[in-house]
Amino acid sequence: MDDRTLETLLRDLESPSSERKESFADKDRVCQAICAFANDVVSSGQPGYIFIGARDDGSPAGAPITDALLLDLTSLRSDGRILPQPRMVVEKRVLLGAPMAVIEVFPADLPPVRFKGVVWIRVGPRRDRANEAEERALSERRATVSGRTWDARPCNEATRDDLALDLFTTYRTYAVARDVVEENHRTVEEQLASLRFFDRRADKPSNAGVLLMGKDPRYFVLGAYIQVVRYSGDTQAADVSMQREIDGDLSSVLRLLDELAKELVAAKPVMVSALREELVFEYPIEALRESLVNAVIHRDYESNTPTIVSIFDDRIEIQNPGSLYGDARLEDFPGVTAYRNPVLAEAAKVLGYVNRFGRGLPRILASMQKNGSSPPKIEPRRGHFLVVLPRHA
Protein backbone atom coordinates (compact mmCIF):
# COMPACT_ATOMS: atom_id res chain seq x y z
CA MET A 1 0.00 0.00 0.00
CA ASP A 2 1.38 3.41 -0.94
CA ASP A 3 2.04 6.13 1.63
CA ARG A 4 -0.94 8.27 0.66
CA THR A 5 -3.40 5.39 1.10
CA LEU A 6 -1.79 4.46 4.42
CA GLU A 7 -2.10 8.07 5.63
CA THR A 8 -5.80 8.05 4.71
CA LEU A 9 -6.26 4.83 6.68
CA LEU A 10 -4.27 6.27 9.57
CA ARG A 11 -6.62 9.28 9.81
CA ASP A 12 -9.81 7.18 9.50
CA LEU A 13 -10.59 6.57 13.16
CA GLU A 14 -13.70 4.50 12.38
CA SER A 15 -11.94 2.10 10.04
CA PRO A 16 -12.18 -1.62 10.95
CA SER A 17 -8.87 -2.14 9.13
CA SER A 18 -6.52 -0.04 11.25
CA GLU A 19 -5.31 0.37 14.80
CA ARG A 20 -2.88 2.87 16.31
CA LYS A 21 -0.31 2.51 19.09
CA GLU A 22 1.91 5.27 20.43
CA SER A 23 4.66 2.74 21.23
CA PHE A 24 5.40 -0.94 21.67
CA ALA A 25 5.19 -0.61 25.45
CA ASP A 26 2.15 -2.88 25.73
CA LYS A 27 3.16 -5.90 23.65
CA ASP A 28 0.06 -7.89 24.58
CA ARG A 29 -2.27 -5.31 23.05
CA VAL A 30 -0.26 -5.33 19.82
CA CYS A 31 -0.52 -9.14 19.77
CA GLN A 32 -4.27 -8.93 20.37
CA ALA A 33 -4.56 -6.56 17.40
CA ILE A 34 -2.56 -8.93 15.17
CA CYS A 35 -4.80 -11.80 16.25
CA ALA A 36 -7.95 -9.77 15.54
CA PHE A 37 -6.91 -8.79 12.03
CA ALA A 38 -5.80 -12.36 11.26
CA ASN A 39 -9.27 -13.63 12.20
CA ASP A 40 -10.99 -11.24 9.75
CA VAL A 41 -14.39 -11.97 11.30
CA VAL A 42 -16.28 -9.95 8.64
CA SER A 43 -14.67 -11.94 5.79
CA SER A 44 -13.29 -8.83 4.10
CA GLY A 45 -10.40 -10.78 2.63
CA GLN A 46 -8.28 -7.66 3.15
CA PRO A 47 -5.29 -7.10 5.44
CA GLY A 48 -5.41 -5.00 8.57
CA TYR A 49 -2.80 -2.40 9.59
CA ILE A 50 -1.30 -1.56 12.96
CA PHE A 51 0.57 1.75 13.18
CA ILE A 52 3.24 1.91 15.88
CA GLY A 53 4.19 5.52 16.61
CA ALA A 54 0.72 7.01 16.11
CA ARG A 55 -1.62 8.56 18.67
CA ASP A 56 -5.27 7.56 18.95
CA ASP A 57 -6.25 10.50 16.71
CA GLY A 58 -3.82 9.34 13.99
CA SER A 59 -1.22 12.05 14.54
CA PRO A 60 2.47 11.09 14.87
CA ALA A 61 3.58 10.28 18.42
CA GLY A 62 7.26 10.90 17.68
CA ALA A 63 8.34 7.49 18.98
CA PRO A 64 11.77 6.28 17.79
CA ILE A 65 11.44 3.54 15.15
CA THR A 66 14.68 1.60 15.47
CA ASP A 67 15.93 -1.56 13.80
CA ALA A 68 15.64 -3.29 17.18
CA LEU A 69 11.96 -2.34 17.37
CA LEU A 70 11.31 -3.70 13.88
CA LEU A 71 13.00 -6.98 14.81
CA ASP A 72 10.93 -7.21 18.01
CA LEU A 73 7.73 -6.66 16.04
CA THR A 74 8.71 -9.24 13.42
CA SER A 75 9.47 -11.79 16.14
CA LEU A 76 5.83 -11.69 17.29
CA ARG A 77 5.01 -13.91 14.32
CA SER A 78 7.19 -16.79 15.49
CA ASP A 79 7.36 -16.58 19.28
CA GLY A 80 4.47 -19.02 19.61
CA ARG A 81 2.05 -16.85 21.59
CA ILE A 82 -0.16 -16.25 18.52
CA LEU A 83 -1.39 -19.58 17.14
CA PRO A 84 -1.52 -20.55 14.36
CA GLN A 85 1.28 -18.33 13.10
CA PRO A 86 -0.06 -15.13 11.55
CA ARG A 87 0.93 -13.95 8.08
CA MET A 88 2.30 -10.44 8.51
CA VAL A 89 4.82 -7.94 7.20
CA VAL A 90 6.60 -5.28 9.26
CA GLU A 91 7.95 -2.11 7.61
CA LYS A 92 9.27 1.29 8.59
CA ARG A 93 7.38 4.03 6.74
CA VAL A 94 7.34 7.84 6.87
CA LEU A 95 3.71 8.91 7.27
CA LEU A 96 2.43 12.42 7.95
CA GLY A 97 6.06 13.52 8.03
CA ALA A 98 7.13 11.12 10.82
CA PRO A 99 8.59 7.59 10.94
CA MET A 100 6.23 4.81 11.98
CA ALA A 101 6.35 1.02 12.09
CA VAL A 102 3.52 -0.50 10.08
CA ILE A 103 2.39 -4.10 10.66
CA GLU A 104 0.37 -5.50 7.76
CA VAL A 105 -1.64 -8.56 8.89
CA PHE A 106 -3.31 -10.90 6.38
CA PRO A 107 -6.45 -12.98 7.00
CA ALA A 108 -5.63 -16.47 8.27
CA ASP A 109 -6.28 -19.58 6.18
CA LEU A 110 -7.06 -21.65 9.29
CA PRO A 111 -8.96 -19.47 11.77
CA PRO A 112 -9.65 -19.03 14.61
CA VAL A 113 -6.31 -17.51 15.62
CA ARG A 114 -5.61 -17.24 19.36
CA PHE A 115 -3.34 -15.10 21.48
CA LYS A 116 -2.61 -16.73 24.83
CA GLY A 117 -5.54 -19.06 24.25
CA VAL A 118 -8.09 -16.31 23.49
CA VAL A 119 -9.69 -15.52 20.11
CA TRP A 120 -9.67 -11.79 19.35
CA ILE A 121 -11.68 -10.10 16.57
CA ARG A 122 -12.39 -6.64 15.19
CA VAL A 123 -15.88 -5.30 15.86
CA GLY A 124 -15.97 -2.15 13.73
CA PRO A 125 -13.17 0.16 14.91
CA ARG A 126 -12.56 -1.69 18.18
CA ARG A 127 -11.02 -4.97 19.26
CA ASP A 128 -12.87 -7.54 21.38
CA ARG A 129 -12.88 -11.17 22.48
CA ALA A 130 -14.89 -13.45 20.21
CA ASN A 131 -18.05 -15.00 21.63
CA GLU A 132 -18.97 -18.63 20.98
CA ALA A 133 -21.04 -17.86 17.88
CA GLU A 134 -18.25 -15.76 16.35
CA GLU A 135 -15.66 -18.41 17.11
CA ARG A 136 -17.91 -21.07 15.55
CA ALA A 137 -18.29 -18.97 12.42
CA LEU A 138 -14.52 -18.60 12.15
CA SER A 139 -14.06 -22.37 12.45
CA GLU A 140 -16.51 -22.94 9.61
CA ARG A 141 -14.96 -20.33 7.34
CA ARG A 142 -11.70 -22.05 6.53
CA ALA A 143 -10.09 -22.58 3.17
CA THR A 144 -11.61 -25.27 0.95
CA VAL A 145 -10.47 -28.81 1.70
CA SER A 146 -8.30 -28.93 -1.44
CA GLY A 147 -6.52 -25.75 -0.39
CA ARG A 148 -5.67 -26.89 3.12
CA THR A 149 -2.50 -28.51 4.32
CA TRP A 150 -2.72 -32.28 4.84
CA ASP A 151 -2.97 -32.07 8.62
CA ALA A 152 -6.01 -29.75 8.43
CA ARG A 153 -7.96 -31.95 6.00
CA PRO A 154 -10.61 -34.41 7.22
CA CYS A 155 -9.57 -38.02 7.74
CA ASN A 156 -12.39 -39.62 5.77
CA GLU A 157 -12.07 -43.09 7.32
CA ALA A 158 -12.25 -41.86 10.93
CA THR A 159 -15.13 -40.79 13.17
CA ARG A 160 -15.30 -38.97 16.47
CA ASP A 161 -15.37 -42.35 18.23
CA ASP A 162 -11.81 -42.96 17.00
CA LEU A 163 -10.57 -40.09 19.16
CA ALA A 164 -9.52 -40.43 22.80
CA LEU A 165 -11.36 -37.38 24.12
CA ASP A 166 -9.52 -37.45 27.44
CA LEU A 167 -6.41 -36.49 25.47
CA PHE A 168 -8.32 -33.56 23.99
CA THR A 169 -9.45 -32.43 27.44
CA THR A 170 -5.83 -32.38 28.58
CA TYR A 171 -4.63 -30.60 25.43
CA ARG A 172 -7.35 -27.98 25.71
CA THR A 173 -6.09 -26.89 29.14
CA TYR A 174 -2.81 -25.83 27.48
CA ALA A 175 -4.27 -24.39 24.26
CA VAL A 176 -7.26 -22.38 25.50
CA ALA A 177 -7.40 -19.80 28.28
CA ARG A 178 -8.97 -21.16 31.48
CA ASP A 179 -11.78 -18.60 31.62
CA VAL A 180 -12.72 -19.42 28.03
CA VAL A 181 -12.93 -23.13 28.88
CA GLU A 182 -15.03 -22.42 31.98
CA GLU A 183 -17.51 -20.36 29.95
CA ASN A 184 -17.70 -22.98 27.19
CA HIS A 185 -21.16 -24.26 26.20
CA ARG A 186 -20.21 -25.68 22.80
CA THR A 187 -20.46 -29.28 21.68
CA VAL A 188 -17.35 -31.46 21.67
CA GLU A 189 -17.30 -31.32 17.87
CA GLU A 190 -17.34 -27.53 17.94
CA GLN A 191 -14.53 -27.45 20.50
CA LEU A 192 -12.44 -29.85 18.42
CA ALA A 193 -13.13 -27.84 15.27
CA SER A 194 -12.06 -24.58 16.91
CA LEU A 195 -8.57 -26.09 17.35
CA ARG A 196 -8.54 -27.58 13.82
CA PHE A 197 -8.98 -31.19 15.00
CA PHE A 198 -12.43 -31.74 13.48
CA ASP A 199 -14.10 -30.83 10.18
CA ARG A 200 -17.77 -30.12 10.89
CA ARG A 201 -18.80 -30.04 7.24
CA ALA A 202 -17.40 -33.51 6.67
CA ASP A 203 -18.32 -34.60 10.23
CA LYS A 204 -14.86 -36.18 10.45
CA PRO A 205 -11.75 -35.64 12.58
CA SER A 206 -8.92 -33.88 10.79
CA ASN A 207 -5.69 -35.75 10.12
CA ALA A 208 -4.08 -33.68 12.88
CA GLY A 209 -6.85 -34.74 15.25
CA VAL A 210 -6.24 -38.41 14.45
CA LEU A 211 -2.48 -38.05 14.97
CA LEU A 212 -2.74 -36.02 18.16
CA MET A 213 -5.54 -37.85 19.97
CA GLY A 214 -6.43 -40.90 17.92
CA LYS A 215 -6.89 -44.20 19.74
CA ASP A 216 -4.89 -45.90 16.97
CA PRO A 217 -3.29 -43.28 14.67
CA ARG A 218 -1.36 -45.90 12.71
CA TYR A 219 -4.56 -47.55 11.55
CA PHE A 220 -5.38 -44.41 9.56
CA VAL A 221 -1.85 -43.09 8.83
CA LEU A 222 0.31 -46.09 7.99
CA GLY A 223 3.67 -44.35 8.24
CA ALA A 224 2.96 -42.63 11.56
CA TYR A 225 5.75 -44.25 13.56
CA ILE A 226 9.48 -43.95 14.22
CA GLN A 227 11.80 -46.85 13.53
CA VAL A 228 14.86 -46.81 15.81
CA VAL A 229 17.83 -49.03 14.94
CA ARG A 230 21.22 -49.22 16.65
CA TYR A 231 24.12 -50.74 14.69
CA SER A 232 27.29 -52.24 16.19
CA GLY A 233 29.49 -50.36 13.74
CA ASP A 234 29.50 -47.37 11.43
CA THR A 235 27.53 -48.82 8.48
CA GLN A 236 24.22 -50.57 7.96
CA ALA A 237 26.18 -53.73 7.17
CA ALA A 238 27.05 -54.02 10.89
CA ASP A 239 25.04 -56.18 13.26
CA VAL A 240 21.84 -54.71 14.68
CA SER A 241 22.12 -54.49 18.47
CA MET A 242 18.74 -52.84 19.13
CA GLN A 243 15.57 -52.22 17.17
CA ARG A 244 12.23 -50.77 18.22
CA GLU A 245 9.28 -48.77 16.99
CA ILE A 246 7.75 -45.69 18.60
CA ASP A 247 4.12 -44.96 17.83
CA GLY A 248 0.83 -43.83 19.38
CA ASP A 249 -0.76 -40.42 19.82
CA LEU A 250 1.50 -37.45 19.08
CA SER A 251 1.87 -36.42 22.71
CA SER A 252 3.07 -39.90 23.67
CA VAL A 253 5.41 -40.05 20.66
CA LEU A 254 7.01 -36.72 21.56
CA ARG A 255 7.43 -37.82 25.19
CA LEU A 256 9.04 -41.12 24.12
CA LEU A 257 11.38 -39.28 21.75
CA ASP A 258 12.39 -37.02 24.62
CA GLU A 259 13.23 -40.13 26.64
CA LEU A 260 15.19 -41.54 23.69
CA ALA A 261 17.22 -38.33 23.47
CA LYS A 262 18.08 -38.59 27.16
CA GLU A 263 19.26 -42.19 26.62
CA LEU A 264 21.62 -41.17 23.83
CA VAL A 265 23.40 -38.10 25.23
CA ALA A 266 26.08 -40.05 27.22
CA ALA A 267 27.95 -37.40 29.24
CA LYS A 268 31.69 -37.79 29.84
CA PRO A 269 34.27 -35.62 31.69
CA VAL A 270 36.96 -33.84 29.69
CA MET A 271 40.00 -32.10 31.23
CA VAL A 272 40.09 -28.40 30.40
CA SER A 273 42.97 -27.59 32.78
CA ALA A 274 45.11 -29.35 35.35
CA LEU A 275 42.50 -28.62 38.02
CA ARG A 276 39.20 -28.61 36.21
CA GLU A 277 37.03 -31.00 34.24
CA GLU A 278 34.07 -30.17 32.05
CA LEU A 279 31.20 -32.43 31.02
CA VAL A 280 30.72 -32.88 27.30
CA PHE A 281 28.15 -35.09 25.64
CA GLU A 282 28.38 -37.60 22.85
CA TYR A 283 25.28 -35.83 21.52
CA PRO A 284 23.97 -32.59 23.08
CA ILE A 285 20.42 -33.06 24.30
CA GLU A 286 19.09 -29.91 22.65
CA ALA A 287 20.34 -30.92 19.20
CA LEU A 288 18.85 -34.39 19.57
CA ARG A 289 15.50 -33.12 20.78
CA GLU A 290 15.18 -30.52 18.05
CA SER A 291 16.17 -32.99 15.33
CA LEU A 292 13.72 -35.66 16.51
CA VAL A 293 10.80 -33.28 17.04
CA ASN A 294 11.37 -31.59 13.66
CA ALA A 295 11.42 -34.97 11.92
CA VAL A 296 8.04 -35.92 13.39
CA ILE A 297 6.33 -32.55 12.94
CA HIS A 298 7.54 -31.65 9.45
CA ARG A 299 7.51 -35.05 7.76
CA ASP A 300 5.25 -36.04 4.87
CA TYR A 301 2.51 -38.18 6.42
CA GLU A 302 1.04 -39.06 3.02
CA SER A 303 4.05 -41.35 2.64
CA ASN A 304 3.83 -44.80 4.22
CA THR A 305 7.52 -44.62 5.10
CA PRO A 306 8.32 -44.14 8.79
CA THR A 307 10.74 -41.66 10.28
CA ILE A 308 14.00 -43.60 10.69
CA VAL A 309 16.55 -43.03 13.48
CA SER A 310 19.81 -44.92 12.79
CA ILE A 311 22.37 -45.01 15.62
CA PHE A 312 25.93 -45.82 14.51
CA ASP A 313 29.15 -45.89 16.51
CA ASP A 314 30.21 -42.50 15.14
CA ARG A 315 26.94 -40.69 14.37
CA ILE A 316 23.14 -40.60 14.52
CA GLU A 317 21.15 -40.26 11.31
CA ILE A 318 17.54 -39.02 11.41
CA GLN A 319 15.66 -39.35 8.15
CA ASN A 320 12.05 -38.45 7.48
CA PRO A 321 9.95 -38.62 4.32
CA GLY A 322 9.30 -35.29 2.66
CA SER A 323 11.88 -32.72 1.59
CA LEU A 324 11.47 -28.92 1.59
CA TYR A 325 7.86 -27.78 1.35
CA GLY A 326 5.89 -25.01 -0.28
CA ASP A 327 7.85 -21.86 -1.08
CA ALA A 328 11.07 -23.22 0.43
CA ARG A 329 13.68 -24.04 -2.20
CA LEU A 330 17.04 -25.75 -1.91
CA GLU A 331 18.89 -22.61 -3.02
CA ASP A 332 17.16 -20.61 -0.25
CA PHE A 333 17.69 -23.19 2.51
CA PRO A 334 17.94 -22.60 5.44
CA GLY A 335 16.73 -19.01 5.19
CA VAL A 336 13.12 -19.79 4.24
CA THR A 337 10.64 -21.68 6.43
CA ALA A 338 7.42 -23.24 5.12
CA TYR A 339 5.27 -25.52 7.23
CA ARG A 340 3.95 -28.72 5.73
CA ASN A 341 1.91 -29.44 8.88
CA PRO A 342 1.09 -26.12 10.62
CA VAL A 343 -1.56 -27.67 12.91
CA LEU A 344 0.95 -30.25 14.17
CA ALA A 345 3.58 -27.54 14.59
CA GLU A 346 1.10 -25.55 16.68
CA ALA A 347 0.35 -28.64 18.80
CA ALA A 348 4.06 -29.23 19.46
CA LYS A 349 4.35 -25.61 20.63
CA VAL A 350 1.27 -25.91 22.87
CA LEU A 351 2.64 -29.12 24.41
CA GLY A 352 5.98 -27.46 25.14
CA TYR A 353 8.18 -29.38 22.70
CA VAL A 354 8.89 -26.30 20.55
CA ASN A 355 10.13 -23.02 22.04
CA ARG A 356 9.48 -20.80 19.04
CA PHE A 357 8.91 -21.29 15.34
CA GLY A 358 11.72 -21.20 12.81
CA ARG A 359 14.47 -21.70 15.41
CA GLY A 360 15.03 -25.47 15.17
CA LEU A 361 18.04 -25.42 12.84
CA PRO A 362 19.86 -22.54 14.61
CA ARG A 363 19.38 -24.32 17.96
CA ILE A 364 20.82 -27.56 16.56
CA LEU A 365 23.86 -25.77 15.16
CA ALA A 366 24.43 -23.72 18.31
CA SER A 367 24.17 -26.66 20.70
CA MET A 368 26.55 -28.81 18.63
CA GLN A 369 29.07 -25.97 18.55
CA LYS A 370 28.75 -25.31 22.29
CA ASN A 371 29.38 -29.01 22.98
CA GLY A 372 32.54 -28.97 20.85
CA SER A 373 31.01 -31.43 18.39
CA SER A 374 31.67 -31.50 14.66
CA PRO A 375 29.06 -29.59 12.67
CA PRO A 376 25.91 -31.56 11.82
CA LYS A 377 24.92 -32.33 8.25
CA ILE A 378 21.43 -31.11 7.45
CA GLU A 379 20.48 -32.15 3.95
CA PRO A 380 17.13 -31.66 2.20
CA ARG A 381 17.09 -34.34 -0.49
CA ARG A 382 14.62 -35.39 -3.11
CA GLY A 383 11.76 -37.08 -1.30
CA HIS A 384 13.28 -37.03 2.18
CA PHE A 385 15.17 -34.93 4.73
CA LEU A 386 18.36 -36.12 6.43
CA VAL A 387 20.02 -34.87 9.62
CA VAL A 388 23.38 -36.38 10.63
CA LEU A 389 24.72 -35.61 14.13
CA PRO A 390 28.39 -36.65 14.54
CA ARG A 391 29.30 -38.26 17.85
CA HIS A 392 31.68 -36.21 20.00
CA ALA A 393 35.08 -37.91 19.80
Read off the pLDDT of residues 8-21 as tens digits, 9 standing for 90 and up.
999 999 999 999 99
Average pLDDT, the chain: 92
| Range scoring the smallest mean pLDDT among 152-161, 162-171, 305-314, 316-325 | 316-325
Calculate the CA 372 to chain-centre distance.
Answer: 29
Domain ranges of the chain: 3-129, 142-220, 226-390
Share of the chain above pLDDT 70, in %: 94
Paired sense of beta strands 87-95 and 384-390, if any: unpaired
pTM: 0.85
Q: Which runs of E-coded beta strand occur in the chain?
A: 18-21, 48-52, 82-83, 87-95, 98-106, 114-115, 118-123, 126-129, 198-199, 204-205, 226-231, 240-246, 267-273, 276-281, 307-311, 315-321, 377-381, 384-390
Q: Are the CB atoms for 54 and 84 separated by under 8 Å?
A: no
Going by C-alpha positions, the residue among 50, 37, 38 that lies closest to residue 109 is: 38
pLDDT(273) > 90 = no
pLDDT(185) > 90 = no
pLDDT at 248: 97
- Give 294-340 pLDDT, tens digit per residue: 999 999 999 999 999 999 999 999 999 998 887 666 655 665 667 89
| Range scoring the smallest mean pLDDT among 88-97, 198-207, 276-285, 368-377 | 276-285
- List the CATH code of the domain at 3-129: 3.30.950.30
In this prediction, residues 256-265 reach a mean pLDDT of 94
- List the CATH code of the domain at 226-390: 3.30.565.60
pLDDT(163) > 80 = yes
